[in-house]
DNA sequence: TTGTAGGCGTTATCAT
DNA sequence: ATGATAACGCCTACAA
């Protein structure tokens, strides 16, 4: 073995510790401030000095520490936080994409974290993001009390709620026209002669579901149709339960002639159940999904543009960050029926 | 109007600037260090002092600045970076989910950025993440030269390549068994008697596509079947082109009896085209997708577990972060055939 | 139990 | 054109 005097373990003579501006300054025989000038492309640096500094930077593998940089007052972390239920869900990943697209244009980065629909985790994640000094926050809330954010709002951090409004807190919000979408779905089915329309929904306490159910209920009532309790199934976010509900519904002595599913995941479960039993009621689902047009009976849905939610949220957020005067935003994004076949099946064929 | 002496614009007397530990210390009449102790739950603080500090914290809305905290040597940013092509693509969002799941267990956060398959942007994003001192990096590379990361590796930042290996760089890599998956697909079709098997692929320079095509080519050759150039379509990542290729293929005087699509997106485009024309060759696609089992002819695919790629990547990454001795990782994740119907159609029905 | 001094890596300010 | 010095908000080390 050779003399283990030096702690250098690389074949070249480069140290394996992360270099700082001071290291670069030493290597280039200039002051730290000159390195800072070069790194930040400030003017008034001699060309030869600049060149020398650049060489030292390349040789040492120096990279400006943006964390230290952001510590200086006025400097920003250029980071925004997003809290969602599950990034693997296409609805949320589209929102994230829309957000990130705008963020990239502003040279901001996006920290994404998954609450898994757990109020406690939501709050922990929000706090963790704020401790990291994200400059703005987008939240798809899982909890039922967001007053814990009021101080943060007062301190100037823009917080935008997506898909569901905040509770006990006033801040910018972007939601879908859930109720209107459901109304359109039910009116569509009514216009094809359906009178016994079942609904399969998830947790009725979740805002979106509650609104969609309200749209269902209101519309039937408005058309003078009494809701048959036997046709209402709740807490079917789980695919198993949605399928079971579908089977029970279709086995009723007087089954529904149409089914309305209040979400993507429920729709797919219901369609699977209908696929297995041989019955074919009319069907409309809330949320569009891939290949809906390719199924044996193409699926009519209430669609919307999730990526646009993210984009709009980002626009509001960056407007706030740039201190643009802006009233409280309460945006409602449109929903619309996409007619494909399943929603136009006539009644009386079950 | 009352005297506008104070700059306070809130009804209460709370300042609207973000408080620091010093502010809390002043409010509680203790030293900064005592506040630090309370904030970090250190022992040896008098209960009454602790209480007073907690009150000041609550009143001022103090939140520890983790950016400043991480500046102290030895402290970490507890952040990892992920560079992918597009988070809205379910394959990548599943990877992200797997990663984030493990990261959350370690109390790390995940910064996600989209390269949009642009090598330049990939590099910019990687650099931006490193400037933010992410402690580790996961990259689905778009570029063709990753030597720019060698210095960073030497400095100790774990970098893991996902789905595609790095070029001109040695580092941990997790890819799918692309070639083996393609081989299984082709052997499956061969076992059902197919001899004219077309392939529709994307950019042949992209690693995954190249491997999958190689698997196709090798397997045919190994079985003594000469590849018919007329049955090979490349650069069909665009849905339009994939559909066009399918139509041209099926209009050949001697059309293929089976089609192999090398990706998710291509599969869906091909199936759409086949849906329109009335022909029904056997079909196997690489990548599974939602509702593949619900299409009129359920779709046989080469499947894998994207979330597991993310999980495994995170495990390797955190092992490296904890300085666990670990040889260079070159993981190959398994792929397997999911038999559903479309891949078992016999030849001679076109 | 509590406090003081110094430094993390950068930028702002002011001097030379 | 270049440099010295003082922050930024926090934690470590040590002292009282």
Distance between A88 CA and the closest CA of chain B, angstroms? 5
First to last CA, chain B: 86
Tell me: do B200 and B279 sit in the same domain.
yes
pLDDT in tens, B60-82: 999 999 999 999 876 789 999 99
Looking up residue A255, the CATH number of its domain turns out to be: 3.40.50.2300
Residue A43 is predicted with a pLDDT of 87
Pick A294's closest partner by Cβ from B68, B87, B275.
Answer: B275
Residue at B11 is within a domain: no
Q: Average pLDDT for residues A178-205, to the nearest whole number?
A: 97
3-state secondary structure of A65: coil
Confidence of residue A323 (pLDDT cuts 50, 70, 90): confident
- Interface residues for strand D (CB within 7 Å) are A 29-34, 37, 43-46, 49-50, 68, 71-73; B 18, 20-22, 32-33, 36, 39-40, 62, 64-65, 68-69, 71-72, 74-75
Tell me: do B153 and B287 sit in the same domain.
no
Q: Would the CB atoms of A101 and B114 count as touching at under 8 Å? A: yes
Bridge partners (DSSP) listed for residue A199:
A232, A260
Domain boundary among B7, B34, B60: B60
For B195, the token pair is 């001899």
Count of beta carbons in the 10 Å neighbourhood of residue B214 = 15
Pick B110's closest partner by Cβ from A104, A113, A291.
Answer: A113
pLDDT in tens, B224-249: 999 999 999 999 999 999 999 999 99
Share above pLDDT 70 across residues of chain B, in percent, rounded to a whole number:
95
Residue at A118 is within a domain: yes
Contacts of B228 (CB under 8 A, 6+ apart): B196
Q: Average pLDDT for residues B171-175, to the nearest whole number?
A: 98
Share above pLDDT 90 across residues of chain A, in percent, rounded to a whole number:
90
3-state secondary structure of A176: strand
Residue at A5 is within a domain: no
Tell me: do A108 and A243 sit in the same domain.
no
Alpha-carbon dihedral angle through residues B4, B6, B12, B16, given to the nearest 10 degrees: 120
Residue B276 is predicted with a pLDDT of 85
Q: Would the CB atoms of B64 and A16 count as touching at under 8 Å? A: no
In chain B, which residues have their Cβ closer than 8 Å to the Cβ of A97?
86-88, 114
Distance in angstroms (rounded) separating the CA atoms of residues B255 and A171: 60
Tell me: do B187 and B224 sit in the same domain.
yes
Q: Does A193 touch chain B (CB under 8 A)?
A: no
Tell me: do B240 and B343 sit in the same domain.
yes
Contacts of B6 (CB under 8 A, 6+ apart): none
Residue A21: CB less than 7 A from any atom in strand C: yes
Q: Tell whether the model's pLDDT for residue A11 goes beyond 50.
A: no
Mean pLDDT of chain A: 93
In chain A, which residues have their Cβ closer than 8 Å to the Cβ of B112?
87, 96, 100, 110-112
pLDDT in tens, B286-337: 999 999 999 999 999 999 999 999 999 999 999 999 988 899 999 999 999 9
Confidence of residue A60 (pLDDT cuts 50, 70, 90): very high
Tell me: do A215 and A92 sit in the same domain.
no
Residue A3 is predicted with a pLDDT of 32
Q: Which residues of B, range 324-343, sit inside 8 Å of A by Cβ?
A: none
Residue B33: CB less than 7 A from any atom in strand C: yes
Residues constituting chain B: 350
Q: Of the candidates A260, A289, A271, A329, which has an alpha carbon nearest to the alpha carbon of residue A94?
A: A289
| Helices marked H in A155-303 | 178-191, 207-222, 239-250, 264-276
The count of domains in chain B is: 3
Mean pLDDT of chain B: 93
Distance in angstroms (rounded) separating the CA atoms of residues A100 and A317: 12
> CA angle, corner A107, sides to A101 and A111, nearest 5?
70
Residue at A15 is within a domain: no
Q: Does B156 touch chain A (CB under 8 A)?
A: yes
Q: Would the CB atoms of A111 and B114 count as touching at under 8 Å? A: no
Full domain range(s) for residue B143: 76-176+306-333
Residue A276 is predicted with a pLDDT of 85
Q: Tell whether the model's pLDDT for residue A5 goes beyond 50.
A: no
Q: Tell whether the model's pLDDT for residue A2 goes beyond 50.
A: no
Tell me: do B206 and B344 sit in the same domain.
yes
**Separation in Å, CA A246 to CA A170, A220, B3, B79:** 39, 20, 68, 44
Q: Does B112 touch chain A (CB under 8 A)?
A: yes
């Amino acid at each position: 073995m050779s003399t283990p005097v030096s702690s250098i373990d690389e074949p070249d003579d480069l140290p394996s510790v992360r270099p700082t501006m001071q290291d670069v300054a030493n290597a280039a025989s200039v002051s730290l401030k000159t390195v800072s000038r070069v790194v930040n492309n400030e003017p008034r640096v001699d060309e030869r000095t600049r060149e020398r500094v650049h060489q030292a930077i390349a040789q040492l593998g120096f990279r400006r520490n943006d964390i230290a940089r952001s510590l200086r007052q006025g400097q920003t972390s250029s980071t925004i936080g997003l809290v969602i239920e599950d990034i693997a869900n296409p609805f949320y990943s589209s929102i994230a994409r829309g957000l990130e697209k705008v963020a990239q244009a502003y040279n901001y980065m996006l920290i994404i974290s998954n609450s898994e629909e757990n109020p406690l985790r939501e709050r922990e994640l929000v706090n963790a993001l704020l401790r990291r000094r994200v400059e703005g926050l987008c939240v798809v809330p899982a909890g039922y009390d967001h007053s814990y954010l009021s101080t943060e709002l007062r301190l100037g951090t823009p917080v935008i709620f997506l898909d569901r409004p905040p509770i006990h807190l006033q801040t910018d919000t972007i939601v879908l026209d859930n109720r209107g979408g459901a109304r359109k779905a039910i009116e569509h089915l009514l216009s094809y002669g359906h009178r016994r329309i079942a609904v399969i929904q998830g947790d009725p306490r979740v805002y979106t579901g509650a609104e969609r159910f309200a749209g269902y209920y209101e519309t039937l009532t408005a058309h003078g149709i009494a809701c048959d309790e036997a046709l209402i199934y709740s807490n079917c976010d789980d695919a198993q339960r949605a399928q079971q509900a579908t089977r029970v519904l279709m086995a009723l002595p007087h089954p529904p002639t149409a089914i309305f599913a209040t979400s993507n995941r429920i729709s797919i479960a219901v369609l699977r159940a209908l696929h297995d039993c041989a019955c074919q009621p009319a069907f409309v689902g809330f949320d569009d999904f891939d290949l809906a047009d390719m199924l044996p009976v193409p699926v009519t849905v209430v669609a919307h543009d999730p990526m646009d939610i993210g984009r709009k949220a980002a626009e509001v957020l960056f407007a706030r960050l740039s201190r643009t005067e802006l009233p409280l935003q309460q945006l409602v994004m449109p929903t619309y029926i996409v007619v494909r076949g399943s929603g136009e099946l006539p009644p009386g064929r079950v």
